[in-house]
Amino acid sequence: MTTQTTQYRLEQKRDVSAGFPGPKSAELAARRSAVVAGGVASSVPVYVADADGGIITDVDGNSFIDLGSGIAVTSVGASDPAVVAAVQDQVAKFTHTCFMVSPYESYIAVAEKLAELTPGDHEKRSVLFNSGAEAVENAVKVARIATGRTAVVAFDHAYHGRTNLTMGLTAKANPYKSSPAGSFGPFAPEIYRVPMSYPYREETEIKGEDAARRAITMIEKQIGAENVAAILIEPIQGEGGFIVPAEGFLPALAEWAKEKGVVFIADEVQSGFCRTGSWFASNHDGVVPDIITMAKGIAGGMPLSAITGRAELMDAVHPGGLGGTYGGNPVACAAALAAIETMEAQDLSARARHIEEQVMGRLRKLAEDVDIIGDLRGRGAMLAMEFVKPGTGATTKEPNAEATKEIAAACLQEGVIILTCGTYGNVVRLLPPLVIGDELLADALDVLEAAIRKVAA
Ligand SMILES: *Cc1c(COP(=O)(O)O)cnc(C)c1O
C-alpha cells in the first residue's frame, strides 16, 4: 500500500469516566437556554472541547467515539492537519474579498477539481455556495432557466434542506416543515412528489426499472414531461433513512430524463466525497447526472457547497444570475483543496469500503440473533439499520422508533455518538469519519452491539 496513514493528535480512546454532562457542560447548557432559540436542538448533552480522528472530547474531559462526523461532514477528521494548515495559511492572507467583486485562484482550483472528480467526461462548469440547501436551490434555478420549464420532481423520503424551496422539496413534515403546533409554510409551488424505490418497504418485490416506470408514469400522467425542468434525487437517501434504491432505478430515471429534455439532478450533499466508497454514490449505478449538488464532506468541516453541471446548462444563466456574498469563500476553498488532497493521499474511498466490511460483517451476524433489525443497508461508510417491532420483520415490518431511540441513548451512555434518521424515526445510521482507526471502530461496534442486544432482550 502506498497510501498515507492518518496521524492523530488526540489519543484515539473512548473514556467517559469523568461522567456527563459534567459541571462545565451543565453550565454551558444553562447559558444556552437563556440565549439560544429552542428550535435548534442538539443530540448530545455535552459541549465540545476538541475533536480529531474518531474522537470528540468534551469540556469536562470525556472522550466520545464519533460515528456521526457532524452529519457526514468531517470525513477527513475534524482537525485534519492538511486542512488546518491550509486554513491557517489562507486566513492570514485574506479571509474574504467576494468572488463576485475581486476573484481569486482557489475558487477556480476547486472548480477544476470538481470537473475532474464528478461523474462524466463532458465539459462542466461549477458554482460555489455555502450550504447544501443553497446548492439545491441553485441547481433548480439553473434547470429552470436552461429548460424554460418550472416543475420539479422530488421523491418520497427525500431530504433537501431547510430553506423555503428545499423545505418544499423535503418529504418529511415533522420536524422539517411543520409540527402539530404549526407549519413553516406556505411552501414553494411547482414541486411534485413521486414514489421512491425503497426495497425493504415495497408491498411486493419490484425491480428497479419497474419502480422507475411507476414514478415515470406518475410524472407523465400528472405533470406532463414537457413541463418538467428537473428530477431531483439523492442516489442514496440520507435523512429519509439511508435508502438505497433497487438496482436499475437510477439509470432508468436518468435515461428517461435524457429522452425528455429533463435535467437530472443528483443531490450528493450527504453521499459525496468518498463517503460511499467512491467519489460519488452515482458512480455505483453508472449514472452521469446533468447537475450534481455537493456540500457536507467537501471541505473538511468548513462551510462550502457546490453545483457542477453540463457546460451548456450552467452557461444558460446570464452573468450575475448566480452567486452570493460568501459563496466560495477563500478559507473554505483552501480547506476543500486540502481535504480533497487528503482523500486522494489516504485513498479514503478504499477506507470507506474497508469500514463497510468491518461493520457489515459484525451487524449481519447480529441481525441473525435479534428480531428487531428489519433491514441492514448502505454503502461504504454510509450504513444503516432499520428497526422494527419484535417479530414483525418478516410480516408487517412495524417501525420501532422507541427501540431506535433507546439504542442511541444506550450508545451515548457508553461514550459512542450515533445518529438516527428515517421517515419513521426507526433507523440508526453510521457515518464515522473515514479516518477512524480499526481498533476504535471495533470498540464502538462492541458498544453498539451490546446496546442492540440489551434493547432487543
Ligand atoms: C444535509 C443535506 C442537505 C442540506 O444541506 P445543508 O448544508 O444543511 O443546507 C441537502 N441535501 C442532502 C441530501 C442533505 O443530506
Cis peptide before 303 (omega within 30 of 0): no
Predicted pLDDT of residue 4: 73
pLDDT surpasses 60 at 2: no
Annotate 280-311 with DSSP letters as a single string. Answer: -GGGGGT---SEEEE-GGGGTTS--EEEEEEH
Query: How many angstroms is it from 268 CA to the middle of ligand 1?
Result: 9
Grid cell, residue 32, equals 444556552
CA 28, 30, 34, 37 torsion-angle sign: positive
* Other Cβ atoms within 10 Å of 59 Cβ, number: 19
Grid cell, residue 286, equals 453508472
Mean pLDDT of the chain: 97
Decide whether any atom of ligand 1 lies within 6 Å of the 267 Cβ. Answer: yes
Q: For 139-168, what is the mean pLDDT?
A: 98
Q: For 263-286, what is the mean pLDDT?
A: 98
Q: For 232-254, what is the mean pLDDT?
A: 98
Chain centroid offset of residue 193 CA? 20
Decide whether any atom of ligand 1 lies within 6 Å of the 170 Cβ. Answer: no
Band of pLDDT at residue 1, cut at 50, 70 and 90: very low
Predicted pLDDT of residue 5: 82
Ligand 1 pocket: which of 69, 140, 160, 236 to mutate (most atoms within 8 A of CB): 160
Residue-wise pLDDT for 376-416, tens only, equals: 999 999 999 999 999 899 899 999 999 999 999 999 999 99
Grid cell, residue 292, equals 450534481
Q: Which residue has the cell 428497526?
A: 387
Could you please state the CATH topology (level 3) that the domain comprising 84-345 is classified under. Answer: Aspartate Aminotransferase; domain 2 (3.40.640)
Predicted pLDDT of residue 3: 65
What architecture (CATH level 2) is domain 23-76+347-456? Alpha-Beta Complex (3.90)
87 touches 334 (CB < 8 A): yes
Q: Which residue has the cell 407523465?
A: 220
Decide whether any atom of ligand 1 lies within 6 Å of the 238 Cβ. Answer: yes
Decide whether any atom of ligand 1 lies within 6 Å of the 159 Cβ. Answer: yes
Chain centroid offset of residue 31 CA? 30
Q: Give the residue whose CA is nearest to atom 15 of ligand 1.
A: 270
Cα separation, 410 vs 436, in Å, equals 21
Decide whether any atom of ligand 1 lies within 6 Å of the 285 Cβ. Answer: no
237 Cα nearest atom in ligand 1: 13
Cα separation, 325 vs 96, in Å, equals 9
Predicted pLDDT of residue 87: 98
Query: How many angstroms is it from 132 CA to the middle of ligand 1?
Result: 4
Q: For 318-336, what is the mean pLDDT?
A: 98
Q: For 324-347, what is the mean pLDDT?
A: 98
Task: Give the Å distances, CA to CA, from 424 to 158, 165, 381, 421, 431.
Answer: 13, 23, 22, 8, 19
51 touches 57 (CB < 8 A): yes
* Other Cβ atoms within 10 Å of 69 Cβ, number: 28
Q: What percent of the chain has pLDDT over 90?
A: 98
Q: Which residue has the cell 443531490?
A: 267
Domain ranges for the chain: 23-76+347-456, 84-345
Query: How many angstroms is it from 269 CA to the middle of ligand 1?
Result: 6
Strand partners, 232: 265
CA 285, 289, 292, 298 torsion-angle sign: positive
